[in-house]
Structure 1
Amino acid sequence: MNKNQHRPTMTDVAKLAGVSQTTVSFVLNNVSSGNISEETKTRVLKAVKALGYRNSSPVYDLRNSRTHMIGFVTDEIGTSPFAGDTLRGAQEMAWASNKMLVLLNTGGNKEVEEEAIQTLLEREVEGIIYAAMFTRQVTPPASLRNIPTVLMNCFSIDKEFSSVIPSEVSGGRKATEALIKAGHNRIGLINGEPWMHATEARSEGYKKALETHGIEVDTSLICYGNWRPDSGYDNTMSLMSLPNPPTAIFCGNDLMAVGAYQALAVLGKQIPNEVAVVGYDNQEQLAVYLKPPLSTVALPHYEIGRWAVKHLLELIESEKKLPAVQEKISCPFISRESI
C-alpha cells in the first residue's frame, strides 16, 4: 500500500458493495442470523478483495498483534451520576495491565451502537466491555460473538456472554434486616418502577428478609414509585395514613428517601425515633447531608468496573474459549443515623 493511501476500512467495503456496515460485519463474521442473500454475500466479498480489506475481527489472533486497547461501549453510563466510580474502576484495572480504555457512548441508539462496535473492531481492540446505565436484560449485537466480551451492569438471557451486575437481592435483604434488627416488623417498601430488574430484585430481598424472620409479607405496605423524591413523598403519605402504619420505611433509592424525609417532616414524625428510613444507592453527597444522615445500601460501581476489565483480560489471555461467568457483586449496607 502506498504510504499516502489510507488503509481500507469496513466503511469503504460497505460503500463499494452498496450495503450497511452491519451487513459487511455479518458476512465477514459468518453470522447466520443475518438472513443475508448469497448475492449480497458475493458482492461484499468482491468488495473486500477489490479493496484489499483485512478483516479486523478477533477471528484473527490478536495475541500476536496487540493493540493494548479495550473498547467500552455504553448506552448512557458515561453521562450518569454513577459513571465516575464505574469508569474509575475499569480504567484503573486497564492501566494496571498496560491497556487503554476507549469509551464510546451511544445514547441508547442501536445504529450508533453498531457503528461504535464496528469502529472498535476496525481499530483492532483486544476485547469489549458492553455496559448499560441501569441493570437489565439485553440482547448483545451479533458482532460481539467473535471478540472477547463482558457485559457490565446487564446480562443476556442465554448467558452466552460473561456478565457482572450488583447483587440486588442481597442488597434488599440487608436493608430490610437492618430494620428488623432495630426492632421493626411493620416495614414499608417504596420501590421503583415495577418493570425494572432492580425493583424486582430488591423487592425479592425485602420479602426474603421478612420471611426468614417469621414476619408475614403485608402487600399493603408495598408501593411503587418513579425513583424521584415526589413519589417518595406521595407514597410515604399513603403508607402513614394506613390504620396500622409502618414504623420503618425501606426506599428503593436515596432520592425517594429524600421524599420520605419531607413527608415525615410534614407529618411531624421524627427520624428515627418514630419512623426509621433506609435508602439504596448511597449517593454520598445526598445521603450524608440529610438530617439525620441516611442509612443506605451502596451499589458497587467501582468494583463492577474493575471486575469487568479483569475478567475481560482473562478472556483475552486464554488460549481456549472460557465458559461464561455470571458474576454478582455484593452491595454493602452503610449504617448512619436514620435507623
Structure 2
Amino acid sequence: MATRAVTMQDVADHADVSRTVVSLVLNNRRSVHIAEETRGRVREAASKLGYRPNASARALARQRSDWYGLVTEIVTAPFAVEVIKGAQDRASLDGKYLLIASTDSDPDAETAAIEQLLEQRVEGLIYATTWHRPVTVPALAREVPTVLVNCFDVEGRFPSVVPDERAGGRRATERLLKAGHRRIGLLNLDPDIPATVGRRLGHHDALREAGIPIVDELEVSGHATADGGFVAAEALLNLSTPPTAIFCANDRMAMGAYDAIKERGLRIPSDVAVVGFDNQVLIASYLRPALTTIALPFALMGAQGVELLAAMAGGQPTTTQTVTIDCPLIERASV
C-alpha cells in the first residue's frame, strides 16, 4: 500500500504553527519576521516527517522549474553519451538538472517528448544528436529557449554547438606530415554529410600549406564501418604507389584499415601510419598499436550547449549563432 505524501499542513500541525508560516520558512522568505526558534522548529518538523516540496506547484509559483529538457537519440546509442554528462555537469553549476527524453530520431516521438517537457515547465531545451547533421526541430521548441548540440537547424532558427570538423581534419593530416609522410591517403565517409565535407577540407588545407599536391587517387569514400574501411584501404594499398600514411575519417574505418594493412604483412606505424577520427575509446585504445585519433568533443559540446541555454533563459538576446568546438588530437601509437 502506497504511503501518503507528507503535506505542508502535516508539518504545520507537527510544529504547531500555521501553514502560512511553514510556507514562509521552507521558501526562506526573510521579508516577514518569524522568530528563529520557530524557523528551527518548522525545519526540524519537515526533516522528521520527510517532507518534500511539490516541485510542480513550486515551479508554477516561481514560473521556473530549475530543469532543462534534453531531447536526444543518444541514450539508445553506444556513442556520444558524453554529451549528456557534459550538459548535466554544467547545469549542476547553476543548480539545474536535466530531464532526458529518448526519441530515437522519430519526429512524432520528438514532438510528444517536447510537449511533455513543456508541461513540466522546463526552462529550456537541448536537442542533441549522435552524429553531426542538419535537423528539422519540432515547432513547439520555439516556446522556450532551445539550443542544438552536434546538429544544426535547416531553417536557421536555433543556435547550435557543433564540432570544428575542418580544424580536426587539418590537425590529423598535420600530425602525419610532422612524422615525415608526404603521400597520405584519405578514407572518407559517405559524401555530403558535414563530417565528410569538413574533414576533407581540413585535410586539403594541411596538404596545401605543406606544398603537397592533392591527388584524387589517394582519396576513397566508403561506409563508416570497419568493413567499409577495409575495402577503402585495400583500394589505396593496391595503388602502384600506395600511401605511407592513411587518415581515416572515423575510428571504425581505421579498424578496418588496420586489418587491410596487416593482411599484407605490413606494420603500423613503421610501414603505414594511421590516424583516426572520433576517439571511440573502445576501439582506439584497444587496437594494437593503439590508435592516434582526433577526439569529437562531446562533453564540451554538451557543456557549451547548456552555457548558451542558461544565457538565453536569463534573458540575453536569442541568436542563431553556430559555435564550433575544437577537436583535439589524442596521441597514441599508430604514427
Q: State TM-score, norm by structure 1.
A: 0.79
Q: Which residue of 2 aligns with 1:333?
A: 329
Q: 1:85 aligned to 2:93?
A: no
Structure 2 distance, partners of 1:65, 1:201, is 42
Count of residues in Structure 1 that have an aligned counterpart in Structure 2: 278
Q: Which residue of 1 aligns with 2:236?
A: 239
Unaligned runs of 5+ in 2: 1-58
Q: Which amino acid aligns with 1:198?
A: A
Q: 1:174 aligned to 2:171?
A: yes
1:242-253 to 2 correspondence within 5 Å?
242-253=239-250
Q: Which amino acid aligns with 2:187?
A: I
Q: State TM-score, norm by structure 2.
A: 0.80
Q: Which residue of 1 aligns with 2:280?
A: 283
Q: Which residue of 1 aligns with 2:67?
A: 69
1:102-160 deviations in Å (ceiling 9; x for gaps)? 11111111111111111111111100001112111122222222310001111124432
Structure 1 distance, partners of 2:206, 2:333, is 21
Unaligned runs of 5+ in 1: 1-60
Structure 1 distance, partners of 2:60, 2:333, is 53
Question: Please, what is the CA RMSD of the aligned residues?
Answer: 1.8
- Report the identity percentage: 44
1:156-193 deviations in Å (ceiling 9; x for gaps)? 24432110011111000000110011111111101111
Q: 1:323 aligned to 2:298?
A: no
Q: Is the 8 A contact 1:82 1:301 kept in 2?
A: no
1:109-128 to 2 correspondence within 5 Å?
109-128=106-125
Q: Which residue of 2 aligns with 1:14?
A: none
Match of 2:173, SS? helix
Moved over 6 A (4+): none
Distance 1:126-1:63 versus aligned 2 partners, 3 A rule:
farther
Match of 2:223, SS? coil
Match of 1:188, SS? strand
Structure 2 distance, partners of 1:87, 1:259, is 29
Structure 1 distance, partners of 2:61, 2:214, is 54
Match of 2:99, SS? strand
Q: Which amino acid aligns with 1:330?
A: D
Q: Is the 8 A contact 1:278 1:296 kept in 2?
A: yes
1:1-339 to 2 correspondence within 5 Å?
64-74=62-72, 76-318=73-315, 320-339=316-335
Q: Is the 8 A contact 2:277 2:294 kept in 1?
A: yes
* Offset of residue 228 of structure 1: 0.9
Q: Which residue of 2 aligns with 1:46?
A: none
Match of 2:169, SS? helix
